[in-house]
Amino acid sequence: MNQPHTRPTTPTGVNFANSFFKKVAGLAAVILISGSPVFADQASPASSPQNDGHKVLLHGKTGLVVVQQDGSISWQMDWGGIHDLHLLPNGNILTRKGRTAVVEIDPNTKQVVWSYNSAKQGGNTGKRVEIHAFDLLPNGNVMIAESGAGRIIEVDRSGTIQHEIQLRIDHPDPHSDTRLVRRLESGNYLVAHERDGKAREYDRSGKVVWEYTVPMFGKEAAGGHGPEAFGNRLFAAIRLKNGNTLIASGNGHSVLEVTAEKQIVWQIHQHDLPGIQLAWVTTLQVLGNGNYVIGNCHAGPGQPILIEIEPASKKVVWQLDRFDDFGNNVSNSLVIDEAKFDWLQ
């Protein structure tokens, strides 16, 4: 199988997807349980187009889809639940298959052209392992965060582990040791530890060099996945160009910007945006214009699944509400306005 294609080095604070082709300076993130695909592998028109301004690659109950600026669906592929999503420089898609495998998909043929299964490779046979984060590195290797095994590995095209660190995990759980993880420009790793409620930065030796506990803001924890839930089970943390860290707090219904000294300097909470109720806040993306795009998973009908915010004013400048088309479990999304591939046209 082919190796995932190498991309150029991206600046600090890159989008969680780290797509070379997006107007992004941030990071994208991941999410809970995605819906089961129900459509065939053909592009089909959206039943209620409400997208005006961005081209989006996302995953929902229809599988993997590309939503054009006019709301139409130009590409679609049946696919099961995912917890991370990347558009690669070669136009392929890096995502998850099942709970344990990372795969590269050629969207033209809709075939898997590279894969790594953490349940069967790297010494994990017999262990319960789940994969919730991965990333293509500048040297062509793939970084994979292995929940259950409690480690981050970097594998080459043959599946050989080239680097490995152990993670510090206070409350081990193969389903929620981590959500999104990204390697910073420095080579360090920024990890969203969902169950621990902490963002931790690790150096290349595995030493924790920075840690932030997502606050509960004086509230009691409440179970569930929707707007009624509450906690600090974060899903995403990205390093901004100014050195601060932007955090999507998951069931904390918030986005926080914190300094290296752990001071909150910017924040939005569940009812801060007029007419919008935040639920499980997941993906984070910083566009070229500086605006933030956040994922709003499990928010229910009548609520947007993606929201673009102008940070200084906290004004909502765009939103995507496609509950009828994509369901309540949109797991990952990427604004891909600048991607230029035949299959995206």
In this prediction, residue 52 carries a pLDDT of 61
CB atoms within 10 A of CB 314: 14
Q: Is 343 helix (H, G, I), strand (E, B) or coil?
A: helix
pLDDT in tens, 88-129: 999 999 999 999 999 999 999 999 999 999 999 999 999 999
In this prediction, residue 53 carries a pLDDT of 85
DSSP 23: S
DSSP 222: B
What is the identity of the amino acid at 197? G
In this prediction, residue 4 carries a pLDDT of 58
In this prediction, residue 283 carries a pLDDT of 92
Burial group, residue 235, by CB count within 10 angstroms (0-12, 13-18, 19+): buried
> Do 87 and 93 form a contact (C-beta atoms < 8 A)?
yes
Instruction: Kindly state the helix (H) or strand (E) to which residue 153 belongs, with its residue range.
Output: strand 151-155
- In the predicted model, residues of the chain with pLDDT beneath 50 are 2, 5-51
> What strands lie across the sheet with 161-166, from one edge to the other?
130-136, 142-147, 151-155, 161-166
- For tokens 């941030």, name the residue: 26
Instruction: Kindly state the helix (H) or strand (E) to which residue 208 belongs, with its residue range.
Output: strand 208-213
Q: Which domains does the chain have, with CATH numbers?
A: 56-344 (2.130.10.10)
Q: Is 308 helix (H, G, I), strand (E, B) or coil?
A: strand
pTM of the entire predicted model? 0.85
DSSP 323: H
Query: Can you give 277-298 as a three-state secondary structure string?
Result: CCCEEEEEEEECCCCEEEEEEC
> Do 117 and 100 form a contact (C-beta atoms < 8 A)?
yes
